[in-house]
Structure 1
Amino acid sequence: MSKGKFQVKKHIMTGISYMIPVVVAGGILPALAKAFGGYDIADKVKPGATPWTNLDVFSWTGFWWGVNQVGTYAMLFAVAVVCAGTAYSIAGRPGIAPGLALGYVASDTKAGFIGGLLLAFAVGYFVNWMKTWKVPSWMAGLMPVLIIPVLTSLVVGMLFVVFLSKPLAFIMTAFQNWIISLNGGSKAIMGGVIGACMGFDLGGPLNKTASLAANALGADGILAPWAAKIIGGMTPPIGAFIAVMLAKKKFSKELQETAKTALPMGLCFITEGSLPFAAADPIQFIVSSVCGSATAGALALGMGCESVAAHGGIFVIPMMVHPIWFIVALIVGSLITGVMYAVLKRPDQVIDEDDEESDNLEDIDFDVQVQ
């Protein structure tokens, strides 16, 4: 591996190391809430002036609704954290603030973790460029805490918003309408398309577009797309778990531990449990994920599966039409993802944590004065 590629990998893996605890917390808490409060726990407390206004936290439903809400908020920041962590690896502390802000922009515009990583590199290298500026001595102290984060957020953020957000929205709207139009044809084809989209960017534009298309059809009483949506989102993290079990030596210890949480997250329809694997091996994992999710979606809808709920994972399977076929399709799709990823996966190159830590310590000021 060339030095340049190694550095890119190092920066991404640093970002992943910060993201993993957020994804785990954001995945496990809603899973617990759905297990004890019901698959539709998120809809059981009606919002008032704020989402928390009508909450009775001392009731069974209210307590688990609160747990679900906390986990949901944690998951909202997964892309922001990986963006900030990657930017920090590239540029040090001045990259954290713009990385957090623009990572959340990537999440909010449905650019997903891929968009977050792209913004992280843009932020990191823009900050490094600003560090080379020759500024007056009176301004030097303002650079890391004021000038760099403000200008980086402004320039990189608005370049993204101006040139990418609108075209992205236009393309995704047209794509959503195309998916909806598939309803008049083969159910298996529609299921394969929705499944492939769910497994492609794992929370990004295609994933959200397919999800919105399925929701639109479900609102009209067409329930099959919800089954494809759920199975397409469950397959990637379950497949990641299977891959680690099949080829454990190819994965870093960190990803081996992450796989233990990816399985329950996948069973609960939390696709984000596979994000660390997709970020570590974008091509290998995404190819495997698309194949597995597309197969699962096509098989499920081809055999007549329908879901009465848009969310819930294993908690809504008993209420589905042809639940046995849904389980068969889930197993087949997950095995395809897992076996393909295990075969395509190249062994992780271990990064010297001591070297990484020493690099990061260069950016930390230990001059603390107690008065």
Structure 2
Amino acid sequence: MKKLNFKKHMMTGISYMIPMIVAGGILGALAKGFGGWEVGNYAPEAGATIFSNLNCFDWKQFWWMISKLSDYAMSFGVAVMTAGVCYSIAERPGIVPGFIIGYAANQSKAGFLGGLLMAFVIGYFIQWMKTWKLPKWMVGLMPVMIIPVIATFVCGVAFFAIVAKPMAIAMNALQGWIMSLNGGSKFIIGAVIGAGMGFDMGGPVNKTASMAANALGADGIYGPMSAKIIGGMTPPCGVFVSTLLTPKKFSATEKETAKTAFPMGLCFITEGVLPFAAADPARFIPASMIGSALAGGIAVAMGVESVAGHGGIFVFPMMTNWLWAVIALVVGSVATGVIYSAIKKPSEEGQEEEEEIVDLDINL
């Protein structure tokens, strides 16, 4: 039996995802910096869409266009990672099913955890399919038709029937529980929302905590909104702090990823740390949750409120008690950085193997 090499497959997928997340995050940061923190919600003149009647010479519409590019790039991050893991396991036939189901995981709010789980299911399902004994005339159809169609169908049904639906039920229950905490300690509800934002970096728990904060904000309760923003900014800032504290524990790639994640974090783009969460979940996620919980708890307890639901540092001046927002962000980021530096294993960069690209002969 061949060694499963879970880490190798996972790192291959992450290596493909990093450029997508970085490109989307930086474009989003530029759009918010020059077009305003609400540029993503901009409503252009009647008849103008991102694809037609767009006036690229209009300042607001131009940065709205860049914001849309950012949104599209971020929506494909999980799909690219899932496809990359499938490719590492099953070679080229795994790319299409991995991409389709990875995108479905993102759209259904299963996030990178759902996409990562399905990547291994798809990859090893395809490996099993390759053992099928077929007539010679069908062998050439395996990589271009039979494997992509059957693997997408079977694994897609498994995803929606087994993974997505129970996850949606659990997330609705979690959202209700978070909102029920509002009548108690301010620190507790801020910490819970912050921890949720730091758990899966744009995944289902993150989105659930965000929606709970939005729902409370719609009722005129703006403290949880500040916990949402600051808690989501903490993980990228925290991992950057960690690379400064213990640089020898990080590979060159990890250091560069942290450098790009930092400005993304300041703009409330938490997804910049997905590579760390996917590669080292047992260590990074607890460190991230603790720092975000501390930041969110401090913010709400000290009376920080935010009417805006997005924008990162661009909306700090609009917050009530904004100085405490800065303090909460710094304290939470340092906490994440210190904890992750303490528990992270040194990088095995010198032992990493170069990925070998295998060409499959496809006979049409």
TM-score normalised to the size of structure 1? 0.94
In the TM superposition, 1:182-331 aligns within 5 A as: 182-331=181-330
The CA distance in 1 between the partners of 2:221 and 2:47, in whole Å, is: 31
Computed over aligned residues only, the root mean square deviation of the Cα atoms, in angstroms, reads 1.9
* 1:30 has 2:54 as partner: no
Give yes or no for contact 1:23–1:74 (8 Å, CA) kept in 2.
yes
Residue matched to 2:138: 139
Residue matched to 1:21: 19
Give yes or no for contact 2:226–2:304 (8 Å, CA) kept in 1.
yes
5+ residue gaps, structure 1, are: none
Percentage identity across paired residues of the two chains: 60
Using the TM superposition, give the Cα deviation of residue 348 of structure 1 relative to its aligned residue in structure 2, in angstroms.
2.1
Aligned partner of 1:159: which letter? Answer: A
Query: Aligned pair count?
Result: 362
Aligned partner of 1:330: which letter? Answer: L
The CA distance in 1 between the partners of 2:354 and 2:257, in whole Å, is: 23
The CA distance in 1 between the partners of 2:83 and 2:52, in whole Å, is: 32
Give yes or no for contact 2:140–2:362 (8 Å, CA) kept in 1.
no
Using the TM superposition, give the Cα deviation of residue 54 of structure 1 relative to its aligned residue in structure 2, in angstroms.
5.9
Using the TM superposition, give the Cα deviation of residue 67 of structure 1 relative to its aligned residue in structure 2, in angstroms.
0.5
Secondary structure of 2:210's partner?
helix
Using the TM superposition, give the Cα deviation of residue 288 of structure 1 relative to its aligned residue in structure 2, in angstroms.
0.1
CA distance change for structure 1 residues 355 and 44 in 2, over 3 Å: closer, same or farther?
closer
Secondary structure of 1:208's partner?
helix
In the TM superposition, 1:3-22 aligns within 5 A as: 4=3, 7-22=5-20
Give yes or no for contact 2:50–2:65 (8 Å, CA) kept in 1.
no
Using the TM superposition, give the Cα deviation of residue 175 of structure 1 relative to its aligned residue in structure 2, in angstroms.
1.1
The CA distance in 2 between the partners of 1:341 and 1:348, in whole Å, is: 13
CA distance change for structure 1 residues 96 and 351 in 2, over 3 Å: closer, same or farther?
farther
Aligned partner of 1:40: which letter? Answer: E
* 1:155 has 2:154 as partner: yes
Secondary structure of 1:62's partner?
helix
Secondary structure of 2:349's partner?
coil
CA distance change for structure 1 residues 51 and 182 in 2, over 3 Å: closer, same or farther?
farther
CA distance change for structure 1 residues 48 and 235 in 2, over 3 Å: closer, same or farther?
farther
CA distance change for structure 1 residues 202 and 129 in 2, over 3 Å: closer, same or farther?
same
Give yes or no for contact 1:191–1:228 (8 Å, CA) kept in 2.
yes
The CA distance in 1 between the partners of 2:3 and 2:130, in whole Å, is: 20
Secondary structure of 1:316's partner?
helix
Give yes or no for contact 1:45–1:55 (8 Å, CA) kept in 2.
no
The CA distance in 2 between the partners of 1:216 and 1:58, in whole Å, is: 37
Residue matched to 1:170: 169
Using the TM superposition, give the Cα deviation of residue 190 of structure 1 relative to its aligned residue in structure 2, in angstroms.
0.5
Using the TM superposition, give the Cα deviation of residue 222 of structure 1 relative to its aligned residue in structure 2, in angstroms.
1.2
Give yes or no for contact 1:241–1:263 (8 Å, CA) kept in 2.
yes
Using the TM superposition, give the Cα deviation of residue 179 of structure 1 relative to its aligned residue in structure 2, in angstroms.
1.0
TM-score normalised to the size of structure 2? 0.95
Q: Higher mean Cα deviation, 293-302 or 105-114?
A: 105-114
